[in-house]
Structure 1
Amino acid sequence: MAEMFVTLGTWNWLIFGVLLMALELLAPGIFLFWLGLAAFLVGMLSFIVAPSWQVQVLIFAVFAAAAVPIWRRVAQQKPGANPNPFLNRRSDALVGRVFTLDRPIVDGEGIVRVDDTVWRVSGPDVAAGTKVKIVKADGASLTVGLA
């Protein structure tokens, strides 16, 4: 076992790093990638400086341990920077838009067509074909006002 560590060289670290990164493709979870990156960096550093095998293993351990907090900091999403804020809340995206009533609002309920979807609306009684503005969304029900 000691002989294996003594023969650790630059190419071994580079191959080990690429192998770990490739394994990440088979078992995704971002954990193996960072270990592979640490091994790859040790290999690149070994090109510049020729450290002993003990120092190489120590550098690998430091890089691998540092990768976790660095990744957490990088992956941390900024508040309010959601790329799709209406994901799974499609009705909220309709608030403020104007549509034409498909069926009249009678006794406070009617139908409006949004693209290829029919939505139930509530609001003041108006005739079909009237332009209405969505003022509130509550699940699958929309509240409208006159546009």
Structure 2
Amino acid sequence: MSALSDLIASLGTWNWFIAGVALMALETLVPGVHFLWFGLSAAVVGVLVFLLTAVGLGEALSFPWQLVLFAVISVATVFWVRRFTNAQNVESEDKDLNQRSAQYFGQIVTVEDDITGGRGRVRVGDTLWMATGDDAPKGTRVRITGANGTVFRVEPV
């Protein structure tokens, strides 16, 4: 174990670059855009440590402080990225894209199976949908006024 710790200590600043590349490579194996930002943070810490060492202040940032800096930059990076890439802010031209039944509101369709006792089926295109509404015999034209899940609410035209 001492040989491993000697190797890690001998690499110095390169540890951060190696960690950054390893974390970014891990992102390709475990997608989800999480490890990328930690890898970027490790690279930033590596650059800062390299620059401080180049100007003779390398001892000012000991390894425990480097870890703290890495943690702070990682958290800041994650929150910064989340702020600008929030999926909730995505606008779509088709507001009903993921609500298939909402796409049919207002359409006039034909009763396929009698609506009795408030329940029956209507034909929309080539598909049969469950429907609720006033009793209506097969062949009656009805308007879709709403939906409860995949069951249309209909009313006579």
**TM range, normalised to the smaller chain?**
0.5 to 0.7
1:23 to 1:75, Cα distance in 2 relative to 1, 3 A = same
> Counterparts of 2:81 and 2:46 in 1: how far apart (Å)?
21
Counterpart-to-counterpart distance in 2, 1:127 and 1:8: 82
Cα deviation for residue 36 of structure 1 reads 0.7
Distance change >3 Å, CA 37–CA 112, structure 1 → 2: same
Post-superposition offset of 1:144:
0.8
Aligned counterpart, 1:42: 45
Given the alignment of the two structures, is residue 138 of structure 1 paired with residue 133 of structure 2, yes or no? no
Residue 113 (1) aligns with residue 123 (2): yes
Checking the alignment, whether the CA contact within 8 Å between 2:129 and 2:150 is kept in structure 1 is yes
Query: Would the alpha carbon gap of residues 14 and 2 (structure 1) be closer, same or farther in structure 2, given more than 3 Å must change?
Result: same
SS of residue paired to 1:96? coil
Q: C-alpha distance in 1, partners of 2:62/2:32?
A: 28
Q: Equivalents in 2 of 1:60, 1:107: separation in Å? A: 66
Quickly say closer, same or farther: Cα 1:46–1:90, change in 2 above 3 A. Answer: same
Q: Distance in 2 between matches of 1:107 and 1:19?
A: 65
Change in CA separation of 1:140 and 1:29 when aligned onto 2, cut-off 3 Å:
closer
The aligned counterpart of 1:8 is 12
| Of 64, 67, 79, the match for 1:69 | 79
Q: C-alpha displacement at 1:20, in angstroms?
A: 0.6
Q: Deviation at 1:135? A: 0.8
| Most deviating of 29-38 and 103-112 | 103-112
Helix, strand or coil: the match of 1:100? strand
Give SS of 1:73's match.
Answer: helix
Segments of 5+ residues of structure 1 without an aligned counterpart are: none
| CA distance in structure 2 between the aligned counterparts of 1:21 and 1:30, rounded to whole angstroms | 10
CA distance in structure 1 between the aligned counterparts of 2:9 and 2:71, rounded to whole angstroms: 14
Number of equivalenced pairs = 144
Q: Which moved more, 1:122-131 or 1:16-25?
A: 122-131
2:27 alignment partner in structure 1: 24
Q: Does 1:96 align with 2:102?
A: no
* Structure 2: runs of 5+ lacking an equivalent: none
Over aligned residue pairs, what C-alpha RMSD do you find?
4.0
Letter matched to residue 37 of structure 1? L
The letter of the residue matching 2:12 is: L
SS in 1 for 2:143: strand
Which one has more relative contact order, counting CA pairs under 8 Å at least 6 apart?
Answer: 1
Query: CA distance change for structure 1 residues 105 and 85 in 2, over 3 Å: closer, same or farther?
Result: closer
